[in-house]
Structure 1
Amino acid sequence: MTTATRTDIATALTDLLFTPGLDLAEAVDRHFAPDYRQRTDGSWADRAEFTAHIAHLREVVASGRVEVLDELVQGDRYADRHVVDVTKTDGSTVRMEVYVFAEFSPDGRFRRLEETTLMLRGGEEDRDLGSAR
């Protein structure tokens, strides 16, 4: 991947969660550098922990979509505000607004991402959906 083909949140989340049949390891490799780290609502995860989180979400998420409200790229920095709408396998729905600050690796994948989530709709059990494993 070159810097001309940088990833972004909507593409990454769509591949990770909303593209049935796309292998999890392939989706993670496509968008996240080997040294990837993520902090969600104050809790850090390395790439293996992040991958476990996505594997869990793939079990509970049936479908969804990402709507990017604001997005900024400057050099190797990325920021966005997006809304994720999810329909879970039990039929319930969750809507979360997410604020992201990230850093790209030289090949255009995310190296580090820090996010804060705000649940707009969902049950109390969905409050930690952004970091559940």
Structure 2
Amino acid sequence: MTHTDITRALNDLLFTPGLDLSEAIDRHFTPDYRQRTNGVWSDRADFTQHMTRLRSLVRSGRIEVHEELRDGPKYADRHTVTISLHNGRTSRTEVYLFAQLAPDGRFQRVEETTLLVEGHADDRDLGLIK
């Protein structure tokens, strides 16, 4: 398997609605995947619930990677996600991400901090919505 990265993962998870969510998650995340977003830990089931909810809200979007580093199983990046929601709002969130990759190249653990750069204050918690 090719090593994943945040662009491939988010494009499959959020911006390719025809792709089955379970397939997208299996493609980029290990069965024991864990994620901490703004201090809140989630397991893979929580992450799947989060992605299901986000998919129901997001009409379209794009990701811009500003910096990306890989050192063996360590992965880090700073990226901005711009999303348009079905309710007509648009938001931009900057994300600082540090990750551990499994030997097969998928994300095993992600720890991230998000910062709403532009958009409605209610969109500040999109990274945690379920």
**Does 2:24 align with 1:36?**
no
Match of 1:19 in 2: 16
In structure 2, how many angstroms separate the alpha carbons of the residues matched to 1:120 and 1:80?
17
Match of 2:129 in 1: 132
- Of 93, 98, 101, the residue aligned with 1:96 is 93
**Does 2:118 align with 1:121?**
yes
Q: Give 1:124 deviation, angstroms.
A: 1.5
- Asked whether the 8 Å contact 2:81–2:93 carries over to 1, the reply is yes
**Does 2:24 align with 1:63?**
no
Match of 2:74 in 1: 77
What are the superposed Cα offsets for residues 1-54 of structure 1, whole Å, 9 maximum, x if unpaired? Answer: 2xxx10000110000000021000000000000000000000000000001000
Tell me the TM-score normalized by structure 1: 0.97
Give the ranges of 4+ consecutive aligned residues of structure 1 lying more than 4 Å apart after TM superposition.
none
Q: Give 1:122 deviation, angstroms.
A: 1.3
- Asked whether the 8 Å contact 2:17–2:55 carries over to 1, the reply is no
Q: SS of the counterpart of 2:111? A: strand
Q: Give 1:114 deviation, angstroms.
A: 0.2
Deviates more, 1:123-132 or 1:45-54: 123-132
In structure 2, how many angstroms separate the alpha carbons of the residues matched to 1:11 and 1:29?
13
Unaligned runs of 5+ in 1: none
Percent identical among aligned pairs is: 62
RMSD, aligned α-carbons: 0.5
